[in-house]
Structure 1
Amino acid sequence: MRRRPGHRPGAADHGASRPGQRLRVRRPQRLHGVRGMTGQRRRAGGRIFRYTAWDAIPAALVYAHLAALVVFFLAWPQLSWAARLAGAGLYAFAIGWNQDSISHNFIHNPFFTSKLANRITAFALTLENGVPQTMYAYVHMRHHAGNSDRPDAAGETRDPISIYRHGRDGKAEPMLSYVFMGFWRDDGPFEVARQIRAKRPAEARRALEEFWVMIAVYAALLAIRWEFILVLAPFYYLGQSLSFLIAYYEHLGADPDEPRATGVSTYEPIYNLVFMNNGYHAEHHYRPKQHWTRMASLRREMMAETDAAPIPVIGPAHFLGFLDPRTWRTPTAAKGRPAAVH
């Protein structure tokens, strides 16, 4: 499961206190971890939003998603089985969508200036996605540490969800097993909390707070309307599997050892609109703190580096990556045909 506040930029000294004193101009500091985003840009969000007022959109969607889930629960007795199953399918899609757009962007650039508002939002994301947000953030940051790396001499990867972790001979695992086994391979919540606690005890406490609140809420829903939870359970699994499907094609054909090519991008416009520029995945791994509203400018910057390695690209949305012929030619542990996505 994935940041750190930035520093305030330095201000220029516009004058000298004594005649003859040299004018000193201090270079503005770069925000910690945010390349290409000036202090002025940081303040563009005003008093409410940390980076930009555009974050009002994902912030509103967090609570719209939660509200839709509450409405679905309340309306359940009046719905036909066809409507219930349609709603459950939408519930599954919403999990994959949220985790790879809203929740993901919140990890890298929390929306609000207020710590309390960010904390409340983390609880909302926990309840609607069924995953403690702080644990999700921790695993996601380990993903960035390894960039879907290949196993070392001991057979281990830094990235716990690397597509190579359960592959063979330096090749990625086949898509179907990665997608449908990923959920079951994840470390349990107490193991993730233990890993977090080793370096950040306060963060581990926050992670467990989210976990226990989630358990309490869903236990109450189970007691009130058990069939609602029973029907949604397999769709919850499908939603998590959708997130693994997206992750697979975000990295199949990438090069974990080449900074510009550790992810695979898609510039499909509707996907990037709905998933808040998640398609710019090579760019995102190149500069993880780049704000979601500025991914196109980062792409232009990278394209200007003419002597650098090419950015791996597919045509369709990541969750439809299996439709791109380039992915068919990429070798996996189950097929030995040599080729790569470029």
Structure 2
Amino acid sequence: MNAEVIRTERPTTNSRLFAHTRWDAVPALAGLFHLGYFVGLFFLYPHAPLWLMLILGFIYSLMVNANINGVGHNFIHNPFFRSKILNRIFGVTQSIACCFSQTMYDAVHMQHHKGNSDRQDENGDTIDWLSIYRHGHAGEAENLWSYVFLSFFRDDVGAIRKELRKRNNGDRFWGDLELTAFATILLIMAIIVPTNPIHFINWRFILFFLPFWYLGHCFSYLNGYYRHYGANPDKPVAWGVSSYGKSYHQARTHARFSGPRPAETR
């Protein structure tokens, strides 16, 4: 059987900060901007009219999708920094900005590459936890609307933590830390009203924010659904694999492999 060989070259840099290219400053700053935007919503809410906050909230939702599928995704495959601790810290900032765990996203995404949106096996299970066939029927993809709006509630944190434990590299600790970090930030935002003088019990902001947080992740699932819908799930498919060429991009390549798949690495 013939195999399509995919060759990529990683650029080298003499930067003491960045691991691959100084251009990684662009997605890194984009991720930090998203974090600042999120915090800005909190401080702006008591002072801005509702119509403006609704627009800004919708923009936040779009930014969650762009961050997860852009910055966060590329960071999984190509950690930006030479320093391991800087990569860990950036993962925490990503987690707070998107209100999830970047490290747990790493585990889910690696599982995605192992299964590549596979069909259900004889036990009704899929390797890929994000497979559009995981909750489908009769070998068909799940309905678009249920996939987009229900996938947010389907994450199995226990299974993800179990997968992180297998790595034996501290990922489970950092995944738990990231969950704690964003939950703590949300709790603080729910308690403190940033006015002068300070007030307490900020339920209006939380009621405003949570739907846009949810919508942002729904946009991300919508993105993933249409990246796979219509493809042949019986062929190994590599989706959204970050790579570097002459320009910074995502390679969306459908490839057939004649041998065993390479081991998944970060």
TM-score tier, shorter chain, comes to: 0.7 to 0.9
Partner of 2:198: none
Structure 1 counterpart of 2:217, from 226, 234, 240: 240
Q: Which amino acid aligns with 1:37?
A: E
Q: Which amino acid aligns with 1:257?
A: D
TM-score, structure 2 as length reference: 0.83
In the alignment, is residue 290 of structure 1 matched against residue 259 of structure 2? no
Partner of 1:212: 180
In the alignment, is residue 50 of structure 1 matched against residue 31 of structure 2? no
Q: Which amino acid aligns with 1:166?
A: H
- How far apart, CA to CA, are the structure 1 residues paired with 2:86 and 2:108? 23
- Whether the 8 Å contact between 1:166 and 1:173 is mirrored in structure 2 is yes
Structure 1 counterpart of 2:90, from 118, 121, 124: 121
Please give the residue correspondences for 1:1-342 in structure 2 after superposition, counting only pairs within 5 Å. 35-38=7-10, 41=11, 43-44=12-13, 46-188=15-157, 190-200=158-168, 202-225=170-193, 226=202, 227-259=204-236, 262=237, 281=239, 284=240, 288=241, 290-291=243-244, 293=247, 295=249
- How far apart, CA to CA, are the structure 1 residues paired with 2:41 and 2:214? 18
Deviation at 1:212, TM superposition (A): 1.2
Q: Which amino acid aligns with 1:144?
A: H
Q: Which amino acid aligns with 1:247?
A: G
SS of the counterpart of 2:137?
Answer: coil
Deviation at 1:179, TM superposition (A): 0.5
- Structure showing greater relative contact order (alpha-carbon pairs closer than 8 Å, 6 or more residues apart): 2
Structure 2: runs of 5 or more not aligned: 1-5, 194-201, 258-266
SS of the counterpart of 1:290?
Answer: strand
Deviation per residue, 1:227-265 (Å, 9 max, x gap): 212211011111111110000001001123334xx26xx
**1:216–1:294: structure 2 CA closer, same or farther, 3 Å change rule?**
closer
SS of the counterpart of 1:209?
Answer: helix
Runs (4 or more) in structure 1 with deviation over 4 Å come to none
- Whether the 8 Å contact between 1:35 and 1:289 is mirrored in structure 2 is no
- How far apart, CA to CA, are the structure 1 residues paired with 2:123 and 2:244? 36
**1:97–1:228: structure 2 CA closer, same or farther, 3 Å change rule?**
same
SS of the counterpart of 1:77?
Answer: coil
- How far apart, CA to CA, are the structure 2 residues paired with 1:64 and 1:45? 26
Deviation at 1:294, TM superposition (A): 5.1
- How far apart, CA to CA, are the structure 2 residues paired with 1:250 and 1:106? 19
Deviation at 1:199, TM superposition (A): 4.3
Q: Percent identity?
A: 36
Structure 1: runs of 5 or more not aligned: 1-33, 264-280, 310-342
- How far apart, CA to CA, are the structure 2 residues paired with 1:104 and 1:234? 23
TM-score, structure 1 as length reference: 0.65
How many residue pairs were aligned?
242
Deviation at 1:35, TM superposition (A): 4.3
Deviation at 1:198, TM superposition (A): 4.0
Q: Report which of the two has the higher share of strand.
A: 2
